Amino acid sequence: MFTVQKALPLTTKGASIILTGSSTGVMGTPQFSIYSATKAAIRNLARSWAQDLRGTGIRVNVLSPGPTKTELALEVVGEEAFNALGSATPIGRVGDLSETGAVAAFLASSDSSFMTGGEVFVDGGLAQV
């Protein structure tokens, strides 16, 4: 929040602000209540800032990944539990960093120039179905 506030004076028309959410922001997740609540708050900040920035040409969206294979995630959760989480997604696996990166690149590009106040999930359908 503070980073966006400080960066706004330097932000020009056509810029894209991408906030990092999580699929847990739209679903109850045991033992992650505070984390889930903060991710839900990020979604609301994006919606509110999209209204606040109306007419400036600055877009604000949320990128919400689901289970994504990273070294830290494997270390914290463990490979077996992580793979079980991946098999719970409709896609049947965990995501790869390149898949999340591709969506971030899209949101940063002019290809998403008519998107603001939205949330894009890269979660294998985990929080969607």
pLDDT tens digits for range 36-62: 999 999 999 999 999 999 999 999 999
Catalytic residue list contains 6:
no
Nearest to 4 by CA among 17, 13, 14, 16: 17
Catalytic residue list contains 69:
no
Under a CB-based contact definition with an 8 Å cutoff, are residues 64 and 123 in contact? Answer: yes
CA distances from 19 to 1, 2, 71, 87 (A): 9, 12, 22, 27
Mean pLDDT of 4-14: 95
Domain 16-122: homologous superfamily in CATH: NAD(P)-binding Rossmann-like Domain (3.40.50.720)
Residue 125 pLDDT grade (very low, low, confident, very high; cuts 50, 70, 90): very high
What is the H or E stretch that residue 120 is in?
Answer: strand 119-122
Q: Convert the pLDDT of each residue in 66-122 to its tens digit.
A: 999 899 988 988 889 888 989 999 999 999 999 999 999 999 999 999 999 999 999
pLDDT for residue 29 is more than 90: no
Give the residue extent of every domain in the chain. 16-122
Q: Looking at 6, 13, 39, 69, which residue is catalytic? A: 39
Tell me the whole-structure pTM to 2 decimals.
0.92
